[in-house]
Chain A
């Protein structure tokens, strides 16, 4: 080995980053070369000085006692927070529910909700057909003035109303209003009661909204976690997070609009679920940093 190569590896030798065969080679050269040997001794001494600098500093023995008292305060604080009360409630015999597990549970719930929703939609339509052989049920484009929405959004309200309104077309010549469309929202209150009564469980829209609520709960848990950790997240990462969140929120708004307009379309609802899932994933990635 030449001096030049040896000098290039001396730092790595001291840092312990060389593999054993190179260590042998470099050491062999140092043992034979006076100038390299002198430089190596100097570097080792320098390393020793640096090493001593920190070794001489010892933390106070009271550090654990101080930390312990802070931990006690944290426990009391945790016990008073709703998400930790829920976590404890879910713990049931030592099962520790982390934010990741909570998210996974929510995702499973969403999957089940979508499955149930599709199943219920099929049952609902067939029940209507069985109970009203003279009436065909199909979605209406008319707005229900009584339609309401959880966030008060105008577009959502329209979509929500569309889901519950049904345009009933008489298919039998015995019907009193032959050849005329009866709109449930305007005229057929009895018909609406029938539709509301016949499926004993929640409507498609209700199931979708419940699923949304589950996602929003997961997002809230993760957002609280991120809020707590803001101080240790770099400003650059926070800026990236903000940008990504606004993009995801735009997607959620768009898919929600489509899902409201076409509540019977499982693909539209799945896209909405996917958009929420993206947000949950994004927040989870930041919290697991």
Chain B
């Protein structure tokens, strides 16, 4: 099914998101599925970084794409589709975080199983270190305020350009740079011990 879909839309896929958006506007569900296939991992990871829980991140990813589907007619610049999706995801995440009773919930790590599966080939010491390090990064991210966490995830963890982040968040580039500088400093203070361990190894 997926292969046929990709084959059917190979030309569109090679062109630009413009055709896909036009397809969705015409009511073509396959075009929307392709947009989802292209971007859902990015959006999911961003949301996971923002809220810190896999299940909630998945719910919010679904909510983000539902919003996108309903409002696809409002996309002004098709080339900035990913920024547009991230803008929606950011609003959805902020709304979810604000509606939750306590912030402490954020630091719960619920993806250990996956992390351990991925670490299966590593030595026990390295695996333990990685698991611990993930928890530290997780907590350090939770300690950042929403704006700093957003820019840190998009820039450092997902390598978006400042222009793209500015389009997604509506912030100016100087503000993004200031937030990122402070976020990095805060994160470094927390993970420094692990960087030193690596130097010793």
Residues of A that sit less than 8 Å from B by CB: 11, 15-17, 42, 45-47, 49-51, 53-60, 63-64, 66-68, 70-71, 74, 94, 96, 98-100, 228-229, 231-234, 287-289
When distances are taken between beta carbons in the complex, the residues of chain A under 8 Å from B188 are 46
When distances are taken between beta carbons in the complex, the residues of chain A under 8 Å from B153 are 54
In chain B, positions 122-181 with a C-beta closer than 8 Å to chain A are 133-134, 137-138, 153, 155-159, 161-162
Q: Compute how far the CA of A287 lies from the CA of B157 in the bound complex, rounded to whole angstroms.
A: 31
When distances are taken between beta carbons in the complex, the residues of chain B under 8 Å from A74 are 66, 69-70
Q: Compute how far the CA of A66 lies from the CA of B59 in the bound complex, rounded to whole angstroms.
A: 9
Q: Tell me the smallest distance from the CB of A267 to a CB of chain B, in Å.
A: 34
When distances are taken between beta carbons in the complex, the residues of chain B under 8 Å from A96 are 25-27, 73
Which residue on B lies nearest to A48, using beta carbons? B198
Using a Cβ cutoff of 8 Å, how many contacts connect chains A and B?
106
Residues of B that sit less than 8 Å from A by CB: 25-27, 29, 32-33, 36-37, 40-41, 44-45, 48-49, 54, 57-58, 61-62, 65-67, 69-71, 73-74, 76, 88, 91-92, 95, 111, 114-115, 118, 133-134, 137-138, 153, 155-159, 161-162, 184, 187-188, 191, 194-195, 198-199
Given the contacts A63-B40, A67-B36, A74-B66, A53 and B134 also touching, CB distance less than 8 Å: yes
Q: Compute how far the CA of A9 lies from the CA of B97 in the bound complex, rounded to whole angstroms.
A: 35
B41 and A59 form a contact (CB under 8 A): yes
The 8 Å CB contact of B74, one of A49, A55, A63, A287, is A287
Q: Tell me the smallest distance from the CB of A286 to a CB of chain B, in Å.
A: 10
Given the contacts A54-B45, A57-B114, A96-B25, A288 and B156 also touching, CB distance less than 8 Å: no
The 8 Å CB contact of A231, one of B49, B95, B155, is B95
Q: Compute how far the CA of A15 lies from the CA of B111 in the bound complex, rounded to whole angstroms.
A: 27
A63 and B44 form a contact (CB under 8 A): yes
B157 and A53 form a contact (CB under 8 A): yes
Which residue on A lies nearest to B134, using beta carbons? A53
A70 and B48 form a contact (CB under 8 A): no
Q: Tell me the smallest distance from the CB of A181 to a CB of chain B, in Å.
A: 58
Q: Tell me the smallest distance from the CB of B108 to a CB of chain A, in Å.
A: 14
Given the contacts A46-B195, A66-B62, A234-B91, A71 and B69 also touching, CB distance less than 8 Å: yes
When distances are taken between beta carbons in the complex, the residues of chain B under 8 Å from A54 are 45, 48-49, 153, 157-158
When distances are taken between beta carbons in the complex, the residues of chain A under 8 Å from B198 are 45
Given the contacts A11-B184, A232-B91, A287-B74, A50 and B156 also touching, CB distance less than 8 Å: yes
Given the contacts A54-B48, A57-B111, A59-B40, A17 and B195 also touching, CB distance less than 8 Å: no
Known: A63-B58, A71-B29, A231-B95. 11 other contacts (CB 8 A): A11-B184, A53-B137, A54-B45, A54-B157, A57-B45, A67-B62, A67-B66, A68-B33, A74-B70, A94-B26, A96-B73
